[in-house]
Structure 1
Amino acid sequence: MNTRLPYTADKRTKYRRQSGIEKTTETIQDEVDDLVEKEERNDRVRASVSRLINLGPQL
């Protein structure tokens, strides 16, 4: 009888779970990075629109 099998199966399950968590973490980090980039772009657009609105009376 192989007594190492349950330990190996348990270890394999833990590895898969850890791997899944790491992939999820990477996905979340990528999404956060994308959101930060979009927010920075949004801030630039908002500032440009504000400048144009303020220049409106001068045009």
Structure 2
Amino acid sequence: MNEEELSNVIELITSDYGVEDADECDHGYYAYVDGGYLPDVYQSRGSALQAIYETLTQ
């Protein structure tokens, strides 16, 4: 799925999610869902959204 499709599917499950630019020292993106951040730093917005989707569908 592309980023837009992932966002749409995630939005059907929860509205409490997002992707933020990482700090300068981390280079990448942070992902959060349902009030908590996922433990990894992602190289792209798409990979962060994919991780959110996988977390929600486990």
Would you tell me which structure has more strand in proportion to its own residues? Answer: 2
Would you tell me which structure has more helix in proportion to its own residues? Answer: 1
Task: Normalising by structure 2, report the TM-score.
Answer: 0.23
Task: Normalising by structure 1, report the TM-score.
Answer: 0.23
